[in-house]
Structure 1
C-alpha cells in the first residue's frame, strides 16, 4: 500500500494543476441549484426556539468588517453548523461541553497538528512529540500509548470514520473545515472506547462554487509547508474536492554525536472526496485519503546525569551534558520513524421522507476501511554508548460500518411539542500486529560493568556455572561493592561484544478485535422552555490475542535444547522470560446510558444538566517481559455536567461554560518499573472543574476578543502499589522498584489551570485589509510522569504568539507573518525515568521560538 501513497499524491497534484488551467471553463459550468447535500441531511435550520438542531460556535478567525452602507446589518457572532451529535446542529442548543476550532483559524495561527490545536481548547492536552505514540488527555484522563496494546481513551473521528489507533492523531492535518473537541464520555454516538472524549474532525466538503486554494508557508528550522485544494459542485451530478499536502522541516533538537537534526521530517498526503447525487433523495460520497511521513527520530535529551553515569559516558562523547533546555542531545543510533495510512470510505445518505408518522426520516450508511503502519528504529538509552535499540514494526487494518437513522416528529405519544431522534448500529473489526525487538548494542558488555547496571540488578545476582564464560564475571557478587563504575571504554565493549554476539529480546503480538454496538438518542421537547435527551449504547467486544516474548542469542539459538542453553544477555538485563500465549481471549459487554435536561430561558440563553457513563475495554499487555499480569481490566467513567450556553448584547457576546465532575474506576495506567513499562489498573480517580469559551465582538468594531479558561482538579482516589520515584525526593538515594500509595494525589498531565486570550484587530487599509492578532496561552503546573517525581514537575508558564495578515478586500490573496512562543520560553513537556541509568531522566521540550511567513491564494 505504500506505493499507493505516492501514486495518489501524484494524481492529486495533476488534478489540481489541470483544474487550475480549466478554471475559467469550470466557472461557466451549470451549478446544481438544489441545496448542498450536507444540508439535505436534515431540514432547514429552524428558529432559535426549536431544539431540532444543536449548535457550536467554533474558535475561528473573524471576517473583516464589511464596507459601511446605509442598510448595514448589525454585527452578530456567526453560527457554524456542525455534526457534534451525528446531525447538522448549532452549539447554543447542544447539551455537551464542546469547543470547535475553525479551519481558517488553524491556518492563520500556523497549527500543524492536533497537538497545536489543543493549546486553544481548555482542559485538553495532546502530546505528539512521539509521532508513533502520542498521548491525549481530556480533563486529566487519557492513555499513554507507548504500550501499543492500550486503546486511546480519547477517540478520533474524521469525516465520520472512527480510527482505532492513537498513531492516527499525528497523521497529516490539512484542508480542515473544523475540529470539534467533545469532552466527557461520548460513547452513546461515537465509535468505541471514547471514555474521555472525542476529537471530531471535518475536512472541507466538495460543495459550493468551484474554488482553488493554495497556501505556502516558510518558517524556522527550515520548515516548509505547501497545501493546495480544488473543489466544489461540478454539475447536476455532484461535485468533488482534491487536496494535497507537502511538508518538510529540519529538526529542532541537534544530535551532536551524529551531527544531525532529530525530528527532521518529510511528509506528503492527499485526499479526494467525490459526491454523486444519485437521485433527488439519494446522495453518496467516496473518500480516498493517504499519507506518508519519514522522520529522524527521536527528540529525547538527558537530564540529571549522576557522577557514575557521566564518567561512563564521557569516553564516548567528551562533550556529553545534561542540560534539558538547550535542544541538544547525544546518542549513537541514527533512528528513523516511517508511518502512514490509506483510507477508503463510502458515505451514503437517503432521505426517506415521511415514514410511519416520522418526518424527514433519513438513513446514513458509512463504510470505511483503513490501513496504518509504523516502522521505527529508536535509541533506548539515549546516549553515545551503544547499549540498546528498539526495532519495532506495527501494522493495523480496520473495517467499520455504521447504519443510522434520524428524523423528527411533532410530539412523542402526543406529549410535548416535538422530538428528534438518532439511532443505529456500529460494527468495527481490526487486526493489529506488532513485531518488536530490544536489541543489544556493542557496548552492552561495558555497561554491565557499571554501578547503574548493579543498581538495576539489585546486586543480588550469583554466579551460575551454566553462564557463558564472557558473562560469568559480569554477575559476580563482588561487583556489588560501593566502588566506582569502570569508565566506558569503547574497546571493552567491542571485545565483549564479540563474546555476546547478536542478542535481542523479541515481542510478537497479534490482536483481532470485533466490536458491535446498538445506540440511540432522543431529544424530546417538553414544552416551550424544556427538553429531555436520553441516550443509550449497548456494546459487545471480543479480543483474540497471540502474545509471545522470547530471547534470542547465539548460544541459545544454536543449542539443540534452548532451555538448557546459557541465558541471553538482553533477557538477563531485562529480567525477561520466554513465554508463548497463543490464544488469549476476552469478551465483554456494556450499557452506557446518558440523560440530559435542558432549560431555555429565551432564544439566546440556555442551561443544561447531564449525567453520562462511559466504558473502555480491557486487554492484554503487548510488551510484557513475562507471562505474569498480562491482562488488564476495563475502565468505567461517570460524569455529571452543569452548563450554560448564552449569547448577549444582540448576539455580540457569547459565553459557554460547563461545571463537571467525572469519576473513573479501574483507570488503566502505564508505569515504569525501573527497567521497562508495566500496565495495570489504578483503582479509582476523579476529576472536577470548569471550562469556558468566550467570543466578543466589542463595541469598537475593529476589535474582536476570543478567550477560554479551564480549571481542573484531577486526583487518584485510590492507587496503592503505584511506582515511586527511582530517586528518593527527600534523601536523594536510589530506590529502584520502590512503590508508593498515590491515593489523594494529583494525576499526571493535569494542569490546575489553562487559559487563552486572542485579541484580533481588523484594520481597513484603503484597497487592502490588515489583521493583527495575538495569543496569550497559559498552562498551569503539572506532572509529566505517573510516579509524580519532583523532577517531572513543570511550573506554570505563559506563551505569546502574534501575526499580521495583509489581504485584498475580496480575500483572494493574503500575505502573513507571525511567530509562536515569541519570548522563547524553555519548558519541558515530558520528563521520564531513563531505563538504563537510574536517577537520570529523558526529557522533551516544547518548541522554542518559531517564526513564519505565508502566502495564500484563492480563485
Structure 2
C-alpha cells in the first residue's frame, strides 16, 4: 500500500505525507510565487498554496469556496460576470466595468485582465497559490492587493486518466475528466473537460423558476513538445461557456409603503432575506464564455560565463471573453426597470524572462539567483449597456419611495407620470470602448550571504496608455402623434446625452520591492519585506451625465514581518506574517441613490496577522491543518463618502477612521482529519470549522449591510483504494444549515429596502473518483 498518497492530507502550504524510517513527515512543497521553482518556506512573502487533490476531497468547485480556507481572503462570485475579490480587506467591486480587479489572476503563467476569469476554467487543477500584498514586481498589472496564481494539471511523464463524478442536493451534477501523458520521447498531450449543472437554491415565486442555476461546459487541451534536450514547448487551448438564470437577489427590510405598492403585483411579497424566496418579473439570464490560447517556450542555456542554470521562458497569450446579461434592476414583481449589459474583451500578452544562478554580484554575496524580463499587455474592451424603463414606472412615480428619492424635486413627479403615460421604449444607453496598452520591465535578484542571510531586491517599471470613447444616449418614443417633450429616464435618473471621443490617460509607475530573510537554522527563518503596488486609473464607463468621468490611480505600500518554519522533526509547519499596508487614492464604487459612481477615497490602512499551519499529531491517525486571519482595515481619510440613501440622495458623510466594507476582523479555519487503515483501503474522516467575523458589505457602512459573525461546519468521509484506483467521498457542507448573507446593499428604487444575496444552506454531496 502506498501510504504517501493514501493519507490524502490536504496541502495548505505543506501537503503530502511520507513514511521515512517509520516516521511521518511533511514534505517540501515547491511553488513558483517568485517566477522560479522554490520551496514555499523560502518565499519571503505571505503565501498560501492549496493543491487540487484537497479541492476535490473537500468538494470545492470554485475559487469562492476555496477562499474560506485562506486567511484574510474573500471572494464574492454570486455575479459570475463581475466577481469581487478581496485580500486583506481590499479589492474592487467590478459591477462598474471601468474598475479593474485589485487582485490579479494568473493561470498557467498567463495574466488575465478581467475579474470574470476568476469564474471560468476552474477544473483539472494542480494547485492554487494565493499571494497576499502587492505583487507588481513580478506579476502582470494592477496586482495591488495580491495574486491568485493557478496551475492546471501538467502533461505527465506516463499516460494516466482520471474521472470524477459528483452529485449533490439541488440537482448538482458535476463530471470532470482528464487523460494524457507523454506518447513518445518528444511529444505528449493531456485533454480534460468539465460539465457542471445545478438547480438554483433561490426560488423566484413570481416567475416559477430557480435563480442562480449554473450550467457550465469547458475543456482544455495541452500539447507538450520536447524540441530538444534543452527546449520545451507547451501549447494550451481552453474554452468555457456558462449560462445561469440571473440575478440571485432578494428584497430585505421592506417598509410599509414599499410593501403596499408591491402587494398589487404579488400579494405574497415579503422581505425575509433568509428564506431562499424572491419575486421579480424579468426572466433575466447571464451568459458568459471565453477562449484562451497560451504558448510557452522554455530553453535552458546551461552555463554561460559566470552564470549557470541560465534559462529563458517566453509566454504568449491570447484570450477572448464575452458577458451578456439581463437583470431586473428593481428586483420586484413590478416592471420598473431592466439593466441590459453586453461586454466583449480581447487580450494579447507577451512575457519574456530569464532566470539563472551566479556566484554573487560585484563581490556581494556568496551566490545569487535572478529573474528579469519584459511584459507587454494589450486589450480591447467594449461595453454596450442600457437601463430600460418598464411599463410600471408611471405607477411607481406616484409612491412615497419616488417622493423620497426625488427630494426637493418631488413637485416634478406628476409631470414625470404624464411623460411615462405618453412614452415607450424609454431607455438610457451606455457605449464604452477602451484600448489599453502596457509595457513593463521587471527584475528581481536573490543574494545569499553565507548560509543565513538572503537579501532580495526587485523592481518593476511600467508604462500604460488607455484610449477611450464613451457615450451616453437617452432615447424614447411617443405614444401620441406629437414628439415627446422629454424622456422619463433623463429626468428620473438625472441623465443627459453625451459623447466623448479620444479620451486618453497615460501613466508611469516604478514599483520596488526589498526582502531580507534570516535562517535561524535549516528549518526556521524570519523575514521582512517591503513592497509597493500600483493600479491604474481610468474613466467611468457607466455615467449618466458624462461629467467627472476620470478617477486616479491607486497605490499601496506594504511592510511584512514573518516567520516560516518546520518543527518537531518536520511534523509541524507554522507560517505567520504581520503586515501593514497603506493605500493612497483608494478606488471605490459608491451608490448615489440611483446608480453607482466611481471615485477615489483618499487614504486607507490595512494591518493584521496571517497564520497557517499543518500538524501531524503524535497519535498517528490525526492530522490537522488550520489558518487564522486578524484584520484591521479602515479609511484613514474619506471625508466625501456616500451616506446611506435613507439619509437622502447624494448625501455625504465622513468615514475617516471607520472600518472598510468586506473586511472581517477575524477569520479562522481548522480542519482535523483522522486516517485509518481499513483492510486494503484507507478511511479519512474530516471536519472543517470555518469562522468569519462580522463585516459591512456596502461602502457606505449602512448598519443594515452588516453581516454578523458566523461559524460553519463541513464534514466528509473518504474511502480510498490502496492502489489509488478509486476514491469515494460523501460529505455535507454547512452541516448546521447556518443561514447567512453574502452581501446586503441599497435597493435602487425603494429607499430603506435592501437587496440581499444569501449564501448557500446545507448541501450534501457524494463523489466518486476513478484513476487509471
TM-score, normalization by structure 2: 0.97
**Which of 361, 366, 377 does residue 428 from structure 1 map onto?**
377
The aligned residue for residue 708 of structure 2 is: 795
Q: Does 1:279 align with 2:228?
A: yes
Q: Does 1:236 align with 2:185?
A: yes
Deviation at 1:474, TM superposition (A): 3.9
Deviation at 1:356, TM superposition (A): 3.0
The aligned residue for residue 317 of structure 1 is: 266
Superposed CA offset, 1:698-734 (max 9, x none): 111111000100000000000011011123xxxxxx5
Please state whether the residue corresponding to 1:359 is helix, strand or coil.
strand
- Asked if the contact 1:462–1:475 (Cα under 8 Å) also holds between the matched residues in 2, the reply is no
**Which of 296, 311, 320 does residue 371 from structure 1 map onto?**
320
Structure 1 residues 197 and 779, CA gap change in structure 2 (3 angstroms): same
Distance 1:257 1:193 in 2: 42
The aligned residue for residue 391 of structure 2 is: 442
Distance 2:22 2:110 in 1: 39
Structure 1 gaps, min length 5: 1-56, 464-470, 477-495, 728-733
Matches within 5 A, 1:359-438: 359-438=308-387
The aligned residue for residue 843 of structure 1 is: 756
Distance 2:529 2:720 in 1: 44
Deviation at 1:794, TM superposition (A): 1.1
Deviation at 1:497, TM superposition (A): 6.3
Distance 2:291 2:238 in 1: 6
The aligned residue for residue 767 of structure 2 is: 854
The aligned residue for residue 591 of structure 2 is: 672
- Asked if the contact 1:58–1:99 (Cα under 8 Å) also holds between the matched residues in 2, the reply is no
- Asked if the contact 1:113–1:172 (Cα under 8 Å) also holds between the matched residues in 2, the reply is no
- Asked if the contact 1:60–1:103 (Cα under 8 Å) also holds between the matched residues in 2, the reply is no
The aligned residue for residue 268 of structure 1 is: 217
Distance 2:47 2:14 in 1: 18
Distance 1:378 1:571 in 2: 20
Distance 1:513 1:439 in 2: 30
Superposed CA offset, 1:338-366 (max 9, x none): 00100011000010111231101101000
Deviation at 1:447, TM superposition (A): 1.0
The aligned residue for residue 31 of structure 1 is: none
Please state whether the residue corresponding to 1:120 is helix, strand or coil.
coil
Distance 2:15 2:295 in 1: 34
Please state whether the residue corresponding to 1:167 is helix, strand or coil.
helix
Please state whether the residue corresponding to 1:292 is helix, strand or coil.
strand
- Asked if the contact 2:420–2:488 (Cα under 8 Å) also holds between the matched residues in 1, the reply is no
Q: Does 1:100 align with 2:49?
A: yes
Deviation at 1:571, TM superposition (A): 2.1
Matches within 5 A, 1:497-508: 499-508=422-431
Structure 2 gaps, min length 5: 1-9
- Asked if the contact 2:58–2:716 (Cα under 8 Å) also holds between the matched residues in 1, the reply is yes
Distance 1:567 1:290 in 2: 46
Q: Does 1:518 align with 2:441?
A: yes
Distance 1:557 1:156 in 2: 53
**Which of 227, 252, 269 does residue 303 from structure 1 map onto?**
252
Structure 1 residues 60 and 702, CA gap change in structure 2 (3 angstroms): farther
Matches within 5 A, 1:373-772: 373-460=322-409, 473-474=415-416, 499-555=422-478, 566-727=485-646, 734-772=647-685
- Asked if the contact 2:18–2:27 (Cα under 8 Å) also holds between the matched residues in 1, the reply is no
Superposed CA offset, 1:82-104 (max 9, x none): 21111111111110100011100
Deviation at 1:582, TM superposition (A): 1.0
Please state whether the residue corresponding to 2:489 is helix, strand or coil.
helix
Q: Does 1:349 align with 2:298?
A: yes
Distance 1:775 1:785 in 2: 28
Please state whether the residue corresponding to 2:405 is helix, strand or coil.
helix
Distance 1:557 1:531 in 2: 79
Please state whether the residue corresponding to 1:501 is helix, strand or coil.
strand
Please state whether the residue corresponding to 2:382 is helix, strand or coil.
strand
Distance 2:80 2:638 in 1: 29
- Asked if the contact 1:782–1:794 (Cα under 8 Å) also holds between the matched residues in 2, the reply is yes
Superposed CA offset, 1:677-697 (max 9, x none): 001000000010000110001
Superposed CA offset, 1:655-675 (max 9, x none): 000000000000000000001
Distance 2:18 2:42 in 1: 27
Superposed CA offset, 1:394-452 (max 9, x none): 00000000000000002222332110000000000000000001001111111111111
Deviation at 1:454, TM superposition (A): 1.6
Please state whether the residue corresponding to 1:85 is helix, strand or coil.
coil
- Asked if the contact 1:449–1:474 (Cα under 8 Å) also holds between the matched residues in 2, the reply is no
Distance 1:567 1:78 in 2: 71
Distance 1:759 1:185 in 2: 32
- Asked if the contact 2:576–2:612 (Cα under 8 Å) also holds between the matched residues in 1, the reply is yes
Cα-Cα RMSD: 1.7
Please state whether the residue corresponding to 1:111 is helix, strand or coil.
coil
- Asked if the contact 2:161–2:180 (Cα under 8 Å) also holds between the matched residues in 1, the reply is yes
Please state whether the residue corresponding to 1:333 is helix, strand or coil.
coil
4+ residue segments displaced more than 4 Å: 60-66, 555-560
Deviation at 1:139, TM superposition (A): 0.5
Structure 1 residues 126 and 78, CA gap change in structure 2 (3 angstroms): same
**Which of 763, 775, 778 does residue 688 from structure 2 map onto?**
775
Q: Does 1:814 align with 2:727?
A: yes
The aligned residue for residue 468 of structure 1 is: none
Distance 2:477 2:325 in 1: 24
Please state whether the residue corresponding to 1:117 is helix, strand or coil.
helix
- Asked if the contact 1:556–1:567 (Cα under 8 Å) also holds between the matched residues in 2, the reply is no
Distance 2:246 2:601 in 1: 31
Deviation at 1:499, TM superposition (A): 2.4
**Which of 198, 223, 243 does residue 294 from structure 1 map onto?**
243
Deviation at 1:209, TM superposition (A): 1.8
